[in-house]
Amino acid sequence: MPSALPLADPAPLDGLLPTSARDGAEGRNFGVYVHVPFCRVRCGYCDFNTYTSDELRGAKRADYAGQAAQEIALASTVMDALPTRPASTVFFGGGTPTLLPVGDLTSIFAAITSTWGLAPGAEVTTEANPDSVDLAYLTALKAAGFTRVSFGMQSAVPHVLATLERTHDPARIPLVVEWAREAGLDVSLDLIYGTPGESLDDWRASLEQALAQNPDHISAYALIVEDGTKLARQIRRGEVATPDDDVQADMYELADAMLSAAGYEWYEVSNWSRGEGHESRHNLAYWQGHDWWGVGPGAHSHVGGVRWWNVKHPAAYADRIAVGDSPAAGRETLDAETRETERVLLATRVRDGLVIADLAPTGRTAVAGLIADGLVDAATAIRGRIELTLRGRLLADAVVRRLLE
């Protein structure tokens, strides 16, 4: 079951932003996230805002592209109050965006480009499940202007995929990657490590399989046991073991060693790219506090320190859109202190992401101790920036706490 929404102020039904959201907009990029809240089945570990056909309460997948275009029209009116900025990045995530017919994705994308235009060299990504695309689908995405596809590979090992309740056949990964390349798309692979029952050798095999595809980008996430998921219930009942923190740390170290040896560079704690130009610029924009509009049920947006989130269920979203109201469920305007805390929290995780001189005096003082404890790289600090060491990446939350003390 998807997790609950944050508590905050009600959002106005016209979606209009306070004038403070305009401040400094020229210095921030603008991106668009489109949330596609549908999956064929729900994986046991996942608490993302996504719904199978049985859970739609009358909402129809076939209506979604039109509804998203209506939200984009509303967004266009709201964003007219800010300086005009073309979209630097567009990201379709889910859920499973590729469960929709390709024409639905391309028509939503066309609504985005006709509303805001695209910045030169814009990055346009969709997530995809390996069993939901073929060559024709990927070719149509490329023809429409998509530049990148991110496949949810998760693991190459059948028993790990079974514990995760993933439905795709791992043998399909080389095929879909080949099709994406043939279509001319950059390829990213998502992996998960630390699944109960997964050995270090299993994880090595998954990394080897991922590297054998020569993707442009790899994300490796430690499995998080989210409250309310089937996996959490299985663990509570003792049917499945709890993921072990020490094993997950060993797996992270193995991932970093194998990916570095293969020529990939980490640029965020869970992300490695095949050199500059292959990072996920959309995700970097989140970590760097830029502006983005999130379209769709449960999507979050951030513009100039104002953050809001849409109603979660596709049926509630459809109701709001049908009467021309903003689908926002709540919003908050971040005060200067909260913005600074979030900036440090996000930028610390990005390699070279934080300028030491921009920290509060207590944060600057903490840097020497972090270097002494082997958590922050000394050479980068001499150049005035924070870069986490491997140990620092494993303890990133603790580093952030010490920088903010």
Q: Does 96 interact with ligand SF4 (rule: CB under 6 A)?
A: yes
Q: Which one among 2, 130, 152, 196 touches ligand SF4, defined by CB under 6 A? A: 152
**Ramachandran quadrant class, 302 (left: phi over 0; alpha: psi -120 to 50; beta: rest):** beta
Which of 32, 34, 36, 39 touches ligand SF4 (CB under 6 A)?
A: 39
Determine the size of the site formed for ligand SAM (CB under 6 A): 16
**Partners of 222 in the β-ladder:** 193
Q: Which residues, at least 6 apart from 274, have a Cβ–Cβ distance to it below 8 Å?
A: 215, 216, 217, 263, 264
**Footprint (CB under 6 A) of ligand SF4, residues 247-286:** none
Q: N- to C-terminal Cα distance for the chain?
A: 35
* Whether 318 contacts 67, CB under 8 Å: yes
Binding status of residue 217 toward ligand SF4 by CB under 6 A? no
Q: Identify residues 58-97 at the interface with ligand SAM (CB under 6 A).
A: 93-94, 96
Nearer to ligand SF4, 170 or 363 (CB): 170
User: 381: buried, middle or exposed (CB in 10 Å: 19+, 13-18, 0-12)?
Assistant: middle
The interface mask with ligand SAM, positions 154-193, x = CB under 6 A, is: x-----------------------------------x-x-
Q: What is the DSSP letter of 83?
A: -
50 binds ligand SF4 (CB under 6 A): yes
Contact yes or no for 195/240 (Cβ under 8 A): no
Nearer to ligand SF4, 97 or 327 (CB): 97
Sequence-distant (≥ 6) Cβ neighbours of residue 359 within 8 angstroms = 344, 367, 403
The contact pattern for ligand SF4, residues 57-86, with x = CB under 6 A and - = no contact, is ------------------------------
Residue 22: which residues within 8 A CB-CB, separation 6 or more?
81, 82, 83, 304
Rounded to the nearest 10 degrees, how much is the dihedral formed by the CA atoms of 144, 147, 150, 156? 110
Stretch binding ligand SF4 (CB under 6 A), from 90-98, 135-143, 242-250, 330-338: 90-98
Q: Which does 332 bind (CB under 5 to 8 A by kind): ligand SF4, ligand SAM, none?
A: none
Residue 282 CB, nearest approach to ligand SF4 (Å): 17
Distance of alpha carbon 354 from the chain centroid: 20
Which H or E element spans position 126?
strand 118-128
Q: Scanning residues 218 to 277, which ones bind ligand SAM (CB under 6 A)?
A: 221, 223-224, 226
What residues make contact with ligand SF4 under the rule CB under 6 A?
39, 42-43, 46, 48, 50, 94-96, 129, 152
Query: Which residues of the chain form contacts with ligand SAM (CB under 6 A)?
Result: 45-46, 48, 93-94, 96, 127, 129, 152, 154, 190, 192, 221, 223-224, 226
